[in-house]
């Protein structure tokens, strides 16, 4: 389990070997829905399973913008944000296989399952 003060708890049934993203909607939005290929703007925080925060757009003071595509973000975000609506806040439990796998990236060790809390601020699509 993660330390209480980080506001995250791992579901006891979550298998770290799974290749699925676990999703919990904290707040359901009512705006445009995210989809593969969309340009999104979001605030987020990311933790390792031990509660170590490895990244936060809040701490940088500006939201994160990215295209939901394979060469722009981890697969866990593409799968976990699909269908999420602007105005919503979602928690994602992303297995290592859908994050960085065997690679170390910054503070994230190899084979790390990741936890994110994401607030979706904007979705832009070509339609």
Enumerate the active-site residues: 44, 54-55, 74, 100, 116
Q: What is the DSSP string of 97-112?
A: GGTTTT--BTTB-TT-
Strands 89-94 and 53-56: unpaired
CA atoms within 13 A on the CB side of 77: 27
Secondary structure class of 5 (helix, strand, coil) = helix
Integer Cα distance of 88 and 119 in angstroms: 6
């Amino acid at each position: 389990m993660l330390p209480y003060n980080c506001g995250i708890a791992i579901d006891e049934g979550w298998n770290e070997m799974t290749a699925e993203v676990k999703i919990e909607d904290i707040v359901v939005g009512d705006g445009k829905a995210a989809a593969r290929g969309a340009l999104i703007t979001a605030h987020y925080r990311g933790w390792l399973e031990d509660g170590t925060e490895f990244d936060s757009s809040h701490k940088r003071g500006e939201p994160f913008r990215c295209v939901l595509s394979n060469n722009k973000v981890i697969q866990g975000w593409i799968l976990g944000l699909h269908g999420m609506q602007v105005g919503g806040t979602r928690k994602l439990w992303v297995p290592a296989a859908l994050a960085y796998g065997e690679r170390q990236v910054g503070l994230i060790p190899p084979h790390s399952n990741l936890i994110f809390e994401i607030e979706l601020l904007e979705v832009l699509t070509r339609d």
